[in-house]
Amino acid sequence: MGREGKITIKEIAEMAGVSKTTVSFFLNGKTEKMSEDTRNKIQEIIEQTKYRPNIAARTLNQKKTKLIGVIIGDITNTFSNKIVKGIEDTARKRGYQTLIGNSAYDPEMESSYVNRMLTLGADGFIIQPTPGFHEVAKILKSEGKQFVYFDSKVYEEDAYWVKTDNYTATYKAVESLIGKGYSHFLMIGADPSRLSTRIERSSGFTDCITENGFSFQNLLIKEGEIDCEEILQFVKSNLKKNHPTLVYVPNCWALPEVYKALQPLKDQIPDQLGIIGFDNVEWAIFSDPKITTIVQPAYEEGQKAAEILIDQIEETREEKVHQVLKCSVNWMESTK
């Protein structure tokens, strides 16, 4: 075996009865011209010997590492899980692997992940950006690395991104609910000014309300600092007799908490009190009553982000560099 007892590509080649070049092609995903027997034999030996390639050494010896850096704002929610699954499935089919980081929407954490992934030789990045990402973008551009934004559109002419139609989806859903008789409106969510996704969702709501001649009240909350009693009292104080009230929750992490806070008003749902939120489909369909949600095509968004990035890395130029995907509404029992 090689130095320090680690097996080498040469030894794998000898055990498989193939050339070092064939093993190298296999490790880099270039298996189109290999027979199935050869691929299986090399894979079996790699698994038996627990071989792991030296990423640093490979980075020095080749132009591409076939590694994609993926940085998520919040990896804990279902939306992000589906995004990552879409990215990984598409990347794997194209011969790429992913490095995942959770920035928690912290610019310093985001920058740290980008720098570490650059050290590992990532060919490109898929990023759910923080408001401070512009400085990191300068570094990536100087390194000649391609990157794609998802979920939050960054308004740069040369940026590549994929997002969902948050504004239009919200506007149409609320307009439909106005048609069903809701005439008083409340929004409970995070400060919308920090992220473009939040801006679009809040604007879709407020524009629809005001353009239809109504007004609304807003309660700002922070993740990890939610006061259920404050939410309950806010809604109670704004309920009006003979004016059915709609509560809109634009943040997926907030919806379960708001729903829990409003349990004492459960008997008024949906006729006097409607609730609509974003995503959380798995949870929303098992709540009682089941919650109406605007649903983003998260898996498809991940797929498209990976396709755009790999297209840029490989310079095939087949994918549109700006893509907007349509949301749907899962109408359930919490609205008329």
Amino acid identity for residue 176 in this structure: S
When pLDDT is cut at 50, 70 and 90, the band that residue 23 belongs to is confident
SS3 content of the chain, % helix, strand, coil (to 5): 45, 20, 35
Order of strands across the sheet that contains 67-72: 97-102, 67-72, 124-127, 146-150, 160-164, 322-325
The tens digit of pLDDT for each residue in 162-207 reads 999 999 999 999 999 999 999 999 999 998 876 778 899 999 999 9
Sign of the torsion formed by the C-alpha atoms of 118, 76, 252 and 108: negative
Sign of the torsion formed by the C-alpha atoms of 126, 132, 134 and 139: negative
Rounded distance between C-alpha atoms, residue 190 and residue 220, angstroms:
5
| pTM strictly above 0.85 | no
| Domains within the chain, CATH numbers bracketed | 3-53 (1.10.260.40), 67-164+298-326 (3.40.50.2300), 166-296 (3.40.50.2300)
Rounded distance between C-alpha atoms, residue 55 and residue 92, angstroms:
17
When pLDDT is cut at 50, 70 and 90, the band that residue 239 belongs to is very high
Residue 189 has what pLDDT?
A: 95
Please give the backbone phi and psi of residue 332, each rounded to the nearest 5 degrees, phi first. -130, -160
Question: DSSP 3-state assignment of 88?
Answer: helix
The tens digit of pLDDT for each residue in 136-153 reads 888 898 888 999 999 876
Both structure tokens of 298: 């998260």
Both structure tokens of 111: 């920058």
